[in-house]
Amino acid sequence: MIAITGADGFIGKHLAQYLFKKGIKARRITREGNNNTFAIGNISRKTNWYEALNNIEVLIHCASITSIDNQNSSNIAKLNEVNIKATKNMIKQAAKIGVKRIIFISSAKVNGDLTPKNLKFNNESIPNPKDLYSLSKYKAENLLKLISNKNNIELVIIRPTLVYGEFVKGNFLSLINLINKGIPLPFKNIKNLRSILYVGNLTYFIYMCIFKSDAKGKTFLISDLNPISTPDLIMLLSEKLRKKTILFFFSNIFNANILQYFKKKESLIKFN
> Which pairing describes strands 38-39 and 101-105: parallel, antiparallel, or unpaired?
unpaired
Q: What residue ranges in 176-271 does DSSP mark as E strands?
A: 196-198, 219-222
d(C-alpha 138, C-alpha 107), whole Å? 9
Quick check: 199 and 231 in contact, CB under 8 A? no
* Cβ atoms within 10 Å, residue 265: 15
Q: Is residue 207 among the annotated active site residues?
A: no
Please give the C-alpha separations between residue 112 and each of 51, 65, 69, 134, in angstroms, as whole numbers.
Answer: 37, 18, 20, 8
d(C-alpha 254, C-alpha 126), whole Å? 33
- Residue type at 31? R
What value does the CA radius of gyration of the chain take, rounded to a whole number of Å? Answer: 19
Candidates 133, 164, 204, 261; catalytic one: 133
Element (H, E) at 230: helix 230-241
d(C-alpha 171, C-alpha 200), whole Å? 19
Query: 233: buried, middle or exposed (CB in 10 Å: 19+, 13-18, 0-12)?
Result: buried
Please give the C-alpha separations between residue 136 and each of 129, 139, 192, 269, in angstroms, as whole numbers.
Answer: 9, 5, 27, 20
Query: Which DSSP string do the residues of 77-145 spell out, in sequence order?
Result: HHHHIIIIIHHHHHHHHHHHHT--EEEEE--GGGG-S-PPTT----TTSPP---SHHHHHHHHHHHHHH
Catalytic residues: 133
